[in-house]
Structures are given as structure tokens and as C-alpha cells.
Structure 1
Amino acid sequence: MTEFTTDKLIRMFTTIAGAIEANKERLSELDGVIGDADHGVTMDIGFGAVTEALANLDPAGTEPTQVFNTAAKSFLNAVGASSGPLYATAFMRAGAAVKGRTSLDRDAMVAAVAAMAQGIQDRGKAERGEKTMVDAWLPAAEAIRAAAEEGQSLQACLEAAVKAAEEGAEATKAMLASKGRASRLGERALGHVDPGAASAVIILAAIAGSATA
């Protein structure tokens, strides 16, 4: 059975950082249409800080909860924008969900992803349909839980989450924004993918890709 050890979890965050960096310009372009045009840069800074902080941990003496907690603190310290508190909360919730575990099996990773989604929703006070990253994260959480209940493998569960997030992000094109700067645009925001939802897909895809790495 595939599991995320502490070392693998640290490498997962490095993979996320690399994927965000590779898509930094695209994310900022998406944000430029409906926001400050800095989402890609902000996320890149945040995950860059995460990888630096995690590099200082000794995997042999560190549990997954500490990895998530370190990621939360370093992301929040590096990012002052709205995504900072959102992802800090997500990682803290994930850490709490897997507390006491020395490695993360399918059910633990399902719990972690679901906790991240719930943390983002709670901190952002957002509901589905408001053209935010919640429109990608909530479907992902539902899909990963459903796949686990069907007895699918960890990899299959993560892939189901990615697919649902992709569909959720695409659906934001048809939504009017009611949060943040995009809410001021009214119908001018139609036809554009929410940048936060787009980066959520990148993060989840990197997590899924890390399962077999």
C-alpha cells in the first residue's frame, strides 16, 4: 500500500512549490483579469518559504503533523495576502487530522485533504458558487471521500480529487464573483477561471503526482 512517510510528505511540498513556480505567470495572468495580478507570485513566494522551512526538518525525528504545521507557519509568515491565512489554516487542519500518525495511508491522506478544504472554507467564509478556490477544494474533498468509501486506492482517490477540482475550477467561468476584488466586476468576471481555483488544481495534482514518486 502506498503511504506518505514524513520524507515523502516533505518532497510533496517541494513538488507543489515546483508546480506553482512553473505556473506562476499563468496564475498571475488569470488574476490580472479579476484581481491584483499577483496570485502566482504570492503563491510562489509562499511555497518557496515552505520548502525552505521544511528543509530544516529531520525526517527521521519528525511526524507528518509537524510537517503540516511547519508549512502553515512558514506560508503565513511569507504571504500577507488573503491566500496566506487560507492555506495556513488548511495545513494546520491537515496536521490536526493526522495527529499521532508516523506515516499517512489512504484514509489519513483523505482526512488531510478533506481537512484542508474545510479549513479554507471556514477561514474564507465562502460557499460554493461564489467564484473562489472553494469551488475547486470542496468538490475535491467530496470526490476523495467518495472514492475512499468505494474502496479505491490512495492514488485513485487523489486522482478523483484532481478531476473534481478541475471541473470545479472550470465551472467558475460561469460564476459571478461575490468575494474580493473580483466582486466589483459584476458580469465582467464571467468567462474567466478563478485564479485561486486554478492554483488549487495545481496543488492537488502535485499531491496526486507525489503519491507514486
Structure 2
Amino acid sequence: MESSVAAVSAWLRACSQEFDRRVEELNELDRILGDGDHGTNMQRGFAAAGALDFGAQATAADALRQVGMALVKVVGGASGPLFGTFLLRTGAAWPTPLTVAGIHGALDVGLHGVMTRGKAERGDKTIVDALAPVVDSLAASAAAGLPLAEALTAAALAGEAGRDATAPMLARRGRAALKADRSIGVIDPGAVSMSIIVSTGAHHLG
């Protein structure tokens, strides 16, 4: 599929629907590790993003950057700046036309933006642990010459595996680190949200 505003807007609206559906699941995870409002914050942020006039955006990169700015403004806590930074940085590097290597490059920029903003590394039990495997998967798919749809599906599965792998980790960053003794055995809600964004993207962009 071409790197169109329509494809990106469909992706982001699908994210909004998925956060509507899973708001309580995310809040429940966050009640254990944080303030209990991660799902509500993500739901509110993507509802605001879904209300944006994407028709006014000339490119998909512009649309992604607009959503990133909306998340920074609307989503509370640490999630707004982190997810907003991810979309702002990813949007700034978004490829036209879409290629596996191009999407890898854009998400890699987004990953490093998140790591810098949140001062998080792999294994800290954060959204990085869901996003980094996605970037790794896309790099491998680009090297292997896989078709876009196949590469995106593999990347989404890698993100879900990374999400699940946060369960046994000890939280080292954010509010979850303040409850580190309770964090083992619980999936990080931010990692769940990142996997939602990647999975819906794989469906709509591939």
C-alpha cells in the first residue's frame, strides 16, 4: 500500500477503536504498576488524534507528526511525551513510498527518540521492550528482502512477544520502578499500548 495520508489515518483511527476496547485492561495493569489511568489516558489521546482533520495534511509524515503533537498535549503522565515523541520522530522520518527498509529506518528513529526521552534501555520494563524487537524484526526482514506485508506481520508478532517478555522483568523506569517489588509477573501497560499501535499499523499499512 502506498504511504498515503488515508492509510495512516485509517491506522490511527483503528488505534483509537482498540484503545476504546481495551481501556479497562490497560487501567488494571496500571493500577498495579502506576496510577491506574494509562488506559484512560491512551483512550483520550487517540480519541483526540482521531478527531483531527487529516484531509488538511499533505503527507502521511505530516499526519503522524500532527498526532504526535496531539498526544503530547492531551495524554497525561509520562505516556504523552513518550508516545508523542515516538510518533513525532517516526513521522519526521516516514518513507514515501513505503518500503520495509524505510519503515525500519523511521521506527528506529522513533525508538531512539523514546529511549532518549525516557532514559530507558532494553530490559527496563517499558515501551522500549515492545518497540525494540519490532525494529530488529524489520531490519532482518529488510536484509532478507521480504515483502512489506510479510515484514509488517512479523514485526507485529515480534512486538507482541516483546510485550509479553516484560512480565518477568523488574521495573527500572517511571512510576513502575517505585513499585518494583510488585512489578515482576505483570506485563507493562505501556508495552501493551505500543504493541497495539504496531499491530494496527501492520494491518493497515501492509
Residue number among 72, 75, 80 corresponding to 2:71 in the alignment: 75
- In the alignment, is residue 118 of structure 1 matched against residue 115 of structure 2? no
Matches within 5 A, 1:85-124: 85-98=81-94, 101=96, 103-124=97-118
Q: What fraction of aligned residue pairs are identical, expressed as a percent?
A: 34
Instruction: Give 1:84 deviation, angstroms.
Output: 0.8
Conservation of the 8 A alpha-carbon contact between 2:44 and 2:75: yes
Deviation string 1:53-90 (CA, Å, 9 cap, x unpaired) is 2xx2326x611221111111111111132111111211
Give the aligned length: 206
Change (3 A) 1:57 1:170: closer
1:24 partner amino acid? V
Offset of 1:114 from its aligned partner? Answer: 2.4
Code of the aligned partner of 1:13: L
1:41-190 residue pairs with structure 2 within 5 A? 41-53=40-52, 56-58=53-55, 62-98=58-94, 101=96, 103-190=97-184
- When the two chains are superposed, the root-mean-square deviation of aligned CA atoms in Å is 1.6
Within 5 Å, which residues of 2 pair with 1:173-212?
Answer: 173-212=167-206
TM-score, normalisation: structure 1 = 0.90
* Unmatched tracts of structure 2, length 5 or more: none
Distance 1:94 1:184 in 2: 30
The Cα of 1:46 is off from its aligned counterpart by 0.8
Quick one: distance in 2 between partners of 1:40 and 1:21?
8
CA contact (8 A) 2:100 2:141 kept: no
